[in-house]
Structure 1
């Protein structure tokens, strides 16, 4: 096993141990030891696949992503609240397949997480091999609205790649956008 793989496992074990201690609500040597033992067992029984990250964090892209994400969060929350309190209206929904342009594991995960955190959308399935996210969307009642949502997801993917992506991923996004 490589040094990077050992480092990743140690970080995962430390994270799981901290979560264990938070769940127990006490920070004692016994809780720490018990959490560490459980973390090691979990990592042996359920080994994590290796995750490669060829990109780097770009502060300007991260700022753009964060500002737009917060805006999307506020707007979507208001839209869902309006749908919830509309009397006599049954909101329509759809499951939309979105093919990501850069379907790396990291990009799939970050896009899916950001999408699921915004009210009104939820990832129901992922085709990892083909790079497709299946998203349940609230308030979609026409093919045009579904296309707008799909374009929004691809825009989100572009912002994530701008903030965290590798040069190759950024080049793919730039070529497709041009």
Structure 2
């Protein structure tokens, strides 16, 4: 059955409909909470002074440099969120011990590499949270984030083989999955549980790692 060529076309819903006032308010609260959390992590001390100064700084930053509207389509899940923090704190302790050992051990300097990791959920929020969590762990540092492809380029210390490159890449994807499980939408959860479409990442301009 063909449609009448003279009939008016059906209206198409906009791909990015304007956010409601409730959604805007919720996004601001999420942004302030996230910025305050990063501020306190950077200070490394849990105190009322850091909390209040982080809240004030977050509000000022959002007022002076307003962020583009980022739709938070997920929901906060307390149990996965607690699991994320427990694993994140564990990674902080383990990575700190590993970097301390690399600094004091006798031998050749540790090798390093820049590894490209394409994420499965290509949103600004997921890209930012995953990059922040990686940068706060000693031994890894984000040097570039490609918003078009959702790819993080991470400088990693102590990489000696392609197997370790792939192991690190899988660790980043596991970190992304924990973040999505804590605050992601059902669709994002499905994406992180499906097999990753991209092949194994290769170190870009590795320092000592064979190509």
The TM tier, using the shorter chain, reads 0.7 to 0.9
Aligned residues: 160
* 2:120 is the alignment partner of 1:107: no
Aligned residue in 2 for 1:29: none
Structure 2 distance, partners of 1:122, 1:175, is 27
Structure showing the higher helix proportion among its residues: 1
2:83 aligns with 64
1:173–1:9 distance in 2 versus 1, CA, 3 Å: closer
1:143 is the counterpart of 2:159 = no
User: Match of 1:76?
Assistant: 95
Q: CA deviation at 1:8?
A: 7.1
* Cα distance, 1:5–1:72 mapped onto 2, change above 3 Å: same
Partners of 1:147 and 1:104 in 2: how far apart?
A: 23
Question: Does the residue aligned with 1:140 lie in a helix, a strand or coil?
Answer: coil
Q: CA deviation at 1:9?
A: 9.3
Q: Deviations over 1:88-147 (max 9, x none)?
A: 320111000000011111111111111111000010000011000000001012111111
**Aligned partner of 1:131 among 144, 150, 168:** 150
Segments of 5+ residues of structure 2 without an aligned counterpart are 1-17, 40-48, 197-211
1:168 matched to 2:206? The reply is: no
Distance 1:143 1:76, change over 3 A: same
Counterparts of 2:175 and 2:141, CA distance in 1: 14
Of structures 1 and 2, the larger Rg is shown by 2
TM-score (structure 2 length as normaliser): 0.65
Query: What does residue 69 of structure 2 align with?
Result: 50
What TM-score, normalized to structure 1?
0.77
Q: Which runs of 5+ in 1 are unaligned?
A: 27-31
